[in-house]
Amino acid sequence: MKILNGSELSGYIKERQARQVRALRQSWHVIPRLAIVRTGDNPVIDTYIRLKNIYGSDIGVEVDVYTPSDTELLNQIESLNRDNNAHGIIIQLPLSDNSQTDAAVSAVNPAKDVDGLGGNSVFTPATAMAIDWLLAGYNVALFEKKIVIVGNGRLVGAPLSKLWKSSGLDVVVCDSKTLDLTGALKEADIIVTATGVPGIVKSDMIHSGAVVVDAGTASEYGKIVGDLAADVRERQDLTITPLKGGVGPLTVAALFDNVINAARKIADENGQQDIR
Protein backbone atom coordinates (compact mmCIF):
# COMPACT_ATOMS: atom_id res chain seq x y z
CA MET A 1 0.00 0.00 0.00
CA LYS A 2 1.18 3.50 -0.87
CA ILE A 3 -0.22 6.35 1.23
CA LEU A 4 -1.10 9.74 -0.26
CA ASN A 5 -0.11 11.90 2.70
CA GLY A 6 -1.59 15.36 2.30
CA SER A 7 -0.30 16.49 5.68
CA GLU A 8 3.28 15.97 4.53
CA LEU A 9 2.77 18.02 1.37
CA SER A 10 0.88 20.78 3.17
CA GLY A 11 3.91 21.45 5.39
CA TYR A 12 5.95 22.62 2.40
CA ILE A 13 3.10 24.75 1.13
CA LYS A 14 2.60 26.31 4.56
CA GLU A 15 6.23 27.42 4.70
CA ARG A 16 5.92 29.15 1.34
CA GLN A 17 2.64 30.80 2.34
CA ALA A 18 4.09 32.10 5.61
CA ARG A 19 6.85 33.85 3.64
CA GLN A 20 4.29 35.41 1.31
CA VAL A 21 2.17 36.68 4.19
CA ARG A 22 5.19 38.16 5.97
CA ALA A 23 6.04 40.10 2.82
CA LEU A 24 2.47 41.38 2.51
CA ARG A 25 2.38 42.45 6.13
CA GLN A 26 5.87 43.92 6.49
CA SER A 27 6.51 45.48 3.11
CA TRP A 28 3.05 46.44 1.93
CA HIS A 29 1.04 46.69 5.17
CA VAL A 30 -1.61 44.37 3.78
CA ILE A 31 -2.99 41.95 6.39
CA PRO A 32 -4.69 39.01 4.64
CA ARG A 33 -8.07 38.29 6.18
CA LEU A 34 -10.54 35.44 5.68
CA ALA A 35 -14.19 35.82 6.71
CA ILE A 36 -16.09 32.58 7.40
CA VAL A 37 -19.89 32.79 7.40
CA ARG A 38 -21.80 29.94 9.00
CA THR A 39 -25.32 29.25 10.27
CA GLY A 40 -26.62 26.54 12.57
CA ASP A 41 -24.78 24.05 14.78
CA ASN A 42 -22.84 21.20 13.17
CA PRO A 43 -19.90 19.31 14.74
CA VAL A 44 -18.27 18.67 11.36
CA ILE A 45 -18.34 22.40 10.62
CA ASP A 46 -16.89 23.12 14.08
CA THR A 47 -13.91 20.89 13.24
CA TYR A 48 -13.29 22.52 9.87
CA ILE A 49 -13.48 26.03 11.26
CA ARG A 50 -11.08 25.14 14.06
CA LEU A 51 -8.57 23.79 11.51
CA LYS A 52 -8.85 26.97 9.45
CA ASN A 53 -8.32 29.16 12.49
CA ILE A 54 -5.18 27.24 13.44
CA TYR A 55 -3.80 27.27 9.90
CA GLY A 56 -4.46 30.99 9.47
CA SER A 57 -2.74 31.75 12.76
CA ASP A 58 0.28 29.66 11.74
CA ILE A 59 0.88 31.63 8.53
CA GLY A 60 -0.28 35.06 9.69
CA VAL A 61 -3.71 35.30 8.03
CA GLU A 62 -6.51 36.68 10.18
CA VAL A 63 -9.63 34.49 10.33
CA ASP A 64 -12.97 35.88 11.52
CA VAL A 65 -16.11 33.78 11.94
CA TYR A 66 -19.59 35.28 11.49
CA THR A 67 -22.75 33.51 12.67
CA PRO A 68 -25.76 35.42 11.33
CA SER A 69 -29.31 34.16 11.64
CA ASP A 70 -30.95 32.72 8.55
CA THR A 71 -32.78 36.00 7.98
CA GLU A 72 -29.58 38.07 8.30
CA LEU A 73 -27.37 35.80 6.20
CA LEU A 74 -27.48 37.75 2.93
CA ASN A 75 -27.07 41.08 4.72
CA GLN A 76 -23.96 39.75 6.44
CA ILE A 77 -22.47 38.65 3.13
CA GLU A 78 -23.16 42.01 1.54
CA SER A 79 -21.52 43.77 4.48
CA LEU A 80 -18.39 41.67 4.02
CA ASN A 81 -18.42 42.33 0.27
CA ARG A 82 -18.13 46.04 1.09
CA ASP A 83 -15.43 45.52 3.72
CA ASN A 84 -12.09 46.27 2.02
CA ASN A 85 -10.23 44.49 4.82
CA ALA A 86 -11.96 41.17 4.10
CA HIS A 87 -9.98 39.67 1.23
CA GLY A 88 -11.71 36.29 1.17
CA ILE A 89 -15.22 35.17 2.10
CA ILE A 90 -16.41 31.59 2.41
CA ILE A 91 -19.88 30.25 3.14
CA GLN A 92 -19.30 27.26 5.39
CA LEU A 93 -21.60 24.55 4.06
CA PRO A 94 -24.00 23.03 4.85
CA LEU A 95 -26.12 25.95 6.01
CA SER A 96 -28.84 25.39 8.58
CA ASP A 97 -31.33 26.23 5.81
CA ASN A 98 -30.15 24.44 2.67
CA SER A 99 -32.62 26.37 0.54
CA GLN A 100 -30.40 29.43 1.01
CA THR A 101 -27.25 27.78 -0.33
CA ASP A 102 -27.45 28.98 -3.94
CA ALA A 103 -28.39 32.53 -2.98
CA ALA A 104 -25.66 32.75 -0.33
CA VAL A 105 -22.88 31.40 -2.52
CA SER A 106 -23.93 33.58 -5.44
CA ALA A 107 -24.03 36.66 -3.20
CA VAL A 108 -20.29 36.53 -2.49
CA ASN A 109 -18.23 38.99 -4.54
CA PRO A 110 -16.44 36.84 -7.19
CA ALA A 111 -13.14 38.55 -6.33
CA LYS A 112 -13.54 37.36 -2.72
CA ASP A 113 -15.05 33.93 -3.42
CA VAL A 114 -11.95 32.02 -2.30
CA ASP A 115 -13.87 28.72 -2.12
CA GLY A 116 -14.55 29.08 -5.83
CA LEU A 117 -18.17 27.99 -5.49
CA GLY A 118 -19.92 30.87 -7.23
CA GLY A 119 -20.45 30.74 -10.95
CA ASN A 120 -18.24 33.79 -11.58
CA SER A 121 -15.50 33.18 -9.01
CA VAL A 122 -11.97 33.97 -10.19
CA PHE A 123 -10.58 31.15 -8.02
CA THR A 124 -10.24 27.39 -8.48
CA PRO A 125 -12.34 25.62 -5.81
CA ALA A 126 -10.15 24.65 -2.87
CA THR A 127 -10.94 20.93 -2.64
CA ALA A 128 -10.54 20.38 -6.36
CA MET A 129 -7.20 22.17 -6.24
CA ALA A 130 -6.18 20.09 -3.20
CA ILE A 131 -6.88 16.76 -4.91
CA ASP A 132 -4.99 17.92 -7.98
CA TRP A 133 -2.03 18.97 -5.79
CA LEU A 134 -2.12 15.68 -3.87
CA LEU A 135 -1.89 13.49 -6.95
CA ALA A 136 0.72 15.71 -8.59
CA GLY A 137 2.76 15.70 -5.38
CA TYR A 138 2.97 11.91 -5.50
CA ASN A 139 3.58 11.80 -9.26
CA VAL A 140 0.28 10.09 -10.04
CA ALA A 141 -0.22 10.35 -13.80
CA LEU A 142 -3.72 11.35 -14.88
CA PHE A 143 -3.47 11.36 -18.67
CA GLU A 144 -4.53 8.19 -20.45
CA LYS A 145 -6.03 6.93 -17.19
CA LYS A 146 -9.64 6.00 -16.54
CA ILE A 147 -10.82 8.40 -13.82
CA VAL A 148 -14.09 7.96 -11.92
CA ILE A 149 -15.44 10.60 -9.54
CA VAL A 150 -18.15 9.35 -7.20
CA GLY A 151 -20.39 12.26 -6.23
CA ASN A 152 -21.28 15.39 -8.17
CA GLY A 153 -21.65 17.86 -5.33
CA ARG A 154 -20.90 21.55 -5.25
CA LEU A 155 -17.83 21.24 -3.01
CA VAL A 156 -15.87 18.41 -4.65
CA GLY A 157 -17.31 16.35 -7.48
CA ALA A 158 -18.65 19.07 -9.77
CA PRO A 159 -15.64 21.45 -9.59
CA LEU A 160 -13.11 18.62 -9.81
CA SER A 161 -14.73 17.06 -12.87
CA LYS A 162 -14.85 20.51 -14.50
CA LEU A 163 -11.16 21.11 -13.70
CA TRP A 164 -10.01 17.77 -15.05
CA LYS A 165 -12.28 17.65 -18.09
CA SER A 166 -11.04 21.11 -19.09
CA SER A 167 -7.54 19.58 -19.08
CA GLY A 168 -8.63 16.87 -21.49
CA LEU A 169 -8.71 14.01 -18.99
CA ASP A 170 -10.95 10.96 -19.28
CA VAL A 171 -13.41 11.52 -16.42
CA VAL A 172 -16.62 9.65 -15.59
CA VAL A 173 -18.88 11.10 -12.89
CA CYS A 174 -21.15 8.80 -10.90
CA ASP A 175 -23.97 10.03 -8.68
CA SER A 176 -27.20 8.78 -7.14
CA LYS A 177 -28.63 8.19 -10.62
CA THR A 178 -25.81 5.85 -11.66
CA LEU A 179 -27.24 2.37 -12.17
CA ASP A 180 -24.02 0.35 -12.00
CA LEU A 181 -21.56 2.01 -9.65
CA THR A 182 -19.64 -1.22 -9.12
CA GLY A 183 -19.14 -1.68 -12.87
CA ALA A 184 -17.88 1.88 -13.29
CA LEU A 185 -15.44 1.62 -10.40
CA LYS A 186 -14.02 -1.73 -11.46
CA GLU A 187 -12.81 -0.10 -14.67
CA ALA A 188 -11.25 2.89 -12.92
CA ASP A 189 -7.51 3.47 -12.58
CA ILE A 190 -8.13 6.50 -10.36
CA ILE A 191 -11.12 6.86 -8.02
CA VAL A 192 -12.10 10.03 -6.19
CA THR A 193 -15.09 9.60 -3.91
CA ALA A 194 -16.92 12.50 -2.28
CA THR A 195 -20.48 11.53 -1.42
CA GLY A 196 -20.61 11.83 2.35
CA VAL A 197 -22.14 8.34 2.48
CA PRO A 198 -20.04 6.20 4.85
CA GLY A 199 -18.85 2.91 3.35
CA ILE A 200 -20.37 3.44 -0.08
CA VAL A 201 -17.18 2.30 -1.83
CA LYS A 202 -16.23 -1.28 -0.94
CA SER A 203 -13.14 -3.37 -1.66
CA ASP A 204 -14.78 -5.60 -4.27
CA MET A 205 -15.51 -2.51 -6.38
CA ILE A 206 -11.83 -1.62 -6.84
CA HIS A 207 -9.29 -3.37 -9.06
CA SER A 208 -5.73 -4.08 -7.99
CA GLY A 209 -3.30 -1.18 -8.38
CA ALA A 210 -5.95 1.55 -8.39
CA VAL A 211 -5.41 5.00 -6.88
CA VAL A 212 -8.14 5.88 -4.38
CA VAL A 213 -8.79 9.35 -2.95
CA ASP A 214 -11.42 9.55 -0.23
CA ALA A 215 -12.72 13.12 -0.05
CA GLY A 216 -16.05 12.23 1.51
CA THR A 217 -16.94 13.51 4.96
CA ALA A 218 -19.82 12.67 7.26
CA SER A 219 -20.46 12.54 10.98
CA GLU A 220 -21.11 9.03 12.30
CA TYR A 221 -21.36 8.26 16.02
CA GLY A 222 -19.61 11.53 16.79
CA LYS A 223 -16.68 10.86 14.44
CA ILE A 224 -15.86 12.24 11.01
CA VAL A 225 -15.73 9.38 8.51
CA GLY A 226 -15.16 9.05 4.77
CA ASP A 227 -16.75 7.13 1.90
CA LEU A 228 -14.51 4.05 1.98
CA ALA A 229 -15.57 0.85 3.70
CA ALA A 230 -13.11 -0.57 6.25
CA ASP A 231 -12.21 -3.49 3.98
CA VAL A 232 -10.70 -1.13 1.41
CA ARG A 233 -8.00 -0.04 3.87
CA GLU A 234 -7.06 -3.64 4.62
CA ARG A 235 -5.65 -4.06 1.13
CA GLN A 236 -1.97 -3.69 0.30
CA ASP A 237 -2.28 -3.28 -3.49
CA LEU A 238 -3.72 0.25 -3.60
CA THR A 239 -2.42 3.82 -3.56
CA ILE A 240 -4.76 5.49 -1.10
CA THR A 241 -5.41 8.47 1.16
CA PRO A 242 -5.11 7.78 4.91
CA LEU A 243 -8.00 7.89 7.38
CA LYS A 244 -6.77 11.33 8.42
CA GLY A 245 -4.38 13.72 6.71
CA GLY A 246 -5.26 13.02 3.09
CA VAL A 247 -7.22 15.65 1.17
CA GLY A 248 -8.25 17.75 4.20
CA PRO A 249 -4.92 19.42 5.03
CA LEU A 250 -4.35 20.33 1.39
CA THR A 251 -7.88 21.71 1.05
CA VAL A 252 -7.14 24.14 3.87
CA ALA A 253 -3.80 25.01 2.24
CA ALA A 254 -5.48 25.60 -1.13
CA LEU A 255 -8.12 27.82 0.47
CA PHE A 256 -5.45 30.00 2.08
CA ASP A 257 -3.54 30.12 -1.21
CA ASN A 258 -6.63 31.76 -2.69
CA VAL A 259 -6.87 34.17 0.26
CA ILE A 260 -3.22 35.17 -0.17
CA ASN A 261 -3.72 35.67 -3.90
CA ALA A 262 -6.75 37.86 -3.22
CA ALA A 263 -4.73 39.98 -0.77
CA ARG A 264 -1.82 40.15 -3.19
CA LYS A 265 -4.16 41.48 -5.86
CA ILE A 266 -4.96 44.39 -3.52
CA ALA A 267 -1.22 45.05 -3.18
CA ASP A 268 -0.78 44.90 -6.96
CA GLU A 269 -3.69 47.28 -7.54
CA ASN A 270 -2.01 49.74 -5.19
CA GLY A 271 1.09 49.72 -7.36
CA GLN A 272 3.09 47.32 -5.24
CA GLN A 273 5.40 44.69 -6.64
CA ASP A 274 4.67 40.96 -6.90
CA ILE A 275 5.64 39.24 -3.64
CA ARG A 276 5.67 35.66 -4.86
Q: Is residue 24 part of a domain?
A: no
Chain segment 245-261, per-residue pLDDT in tens:
999 899 999 999 999 99
131 shares its domain with 240: yes
207 falls within a domain: yes
* List of residues 6+ apart from 212 with CB closer than 8 A: 191, 193, 201, 206, 228, 232, 238, 239, 240, 241
Are 34 and 99 in a shared domain? yes
Exposure string (b/e) for 159-177, b if CB count within 10 Å is 16 or more? Answer: bbbebbeeeebebebbeee
Residues contacting residue 131 through CB under 8 Å, at least 6 positions apart: 156, 160, 192, 213, 215, 247, 250
Whether residues 51 and 103 fall in one domain? yes
Q: Could you read off the pLDDT of 55-108 as tens digits, one per residue?
A: 999 999 999 999 999 999 999 999 999 999 999 999 998 899 999 999 999 999
**What CATH number is associated with residue 45?**
3.40.50.10860
Q: Is residue 254 part of a domain?
A: yes
Q: Averaged over 194-211, what is the pLDDT?
A: 96
Q: Is 275's pLDDT higher than 50? A: no
| Cβ atoms of 186 and 141 closer than 8 Å | no
Residue 130 lies in a domain: yes
- Do 255 and 187 fall into the same domain? no
Q: Are residues 137 and 236 in the same domain?
A: yes
pLDDT at 174: 97
Number of domain units in the chain? 2
Q: Same domain, yes or no, for 224 and 152?
A: yes
pLDDT tens for residues 207-237?
999 999 999 977 665 667 789 999 999 999 9
- Rg over alpha carbons for the chain, rounded to the nearest Å, is 19
- CA proximity to 174, closest of 191, 154, 155: 191
Show the domain range for 97.
30-110+247-276
Q: Is 45 domain-assigned?
A: yes
**pLDDT at position 194, please?**
96
Q: Cα(165)–Cα(173) distance, rounded to whole angstroms?
A: 11
Residue 20: inside a domain:
no
Q: Are 121 and 110 in contact (CB under 8 A)?
A: yes
**Residue 62 within any structural domain of the chain:** yes
CB 60, CB 22: distance < 8 Å: yes
pLDDT-derived band at 48, boundaries 50, 70, 90: confident
Q: Is residue 47 part of a domain?
A: yes
| Sheet with 239-240: strands ordered across | 2-3, 239-240, 211-214, 190-193, 147-150, 171-174
Same domain, 105 and 175: no
Statement to judge: residues 238 and 258 lie in one domain = no
Residues 173 and 202 in one domain: yes
The 3-class secondary structure across 73-134, one letter per residue, is HHHHHHHHHHCCCCCEEEECCCCCCHHHHHHHHHHCCCCCECCCCCCCCCCCCHHHHHHHHH
Residues 142 and 217 in one domain: yes
204 and 184, same structural domain? Answer: yes
Mean pLDDT, all residues of the chain: 93
Q: How far is CA 64 from the centre of its chain?
A: 19
pLDDT in tens, 135-191: 999 999 999 999 999 999 988 999 999 999 999 999 999 999 999 999 999 999 999
Q: The domain spanning residue 172 has which CATH number?
A: 3.40.50.720
Q: 212 burial class (0-12, 13-18, 19+ CB within 10 angstroms)? A: buried
| Residues 136 and 238 both lie in one domain | yes
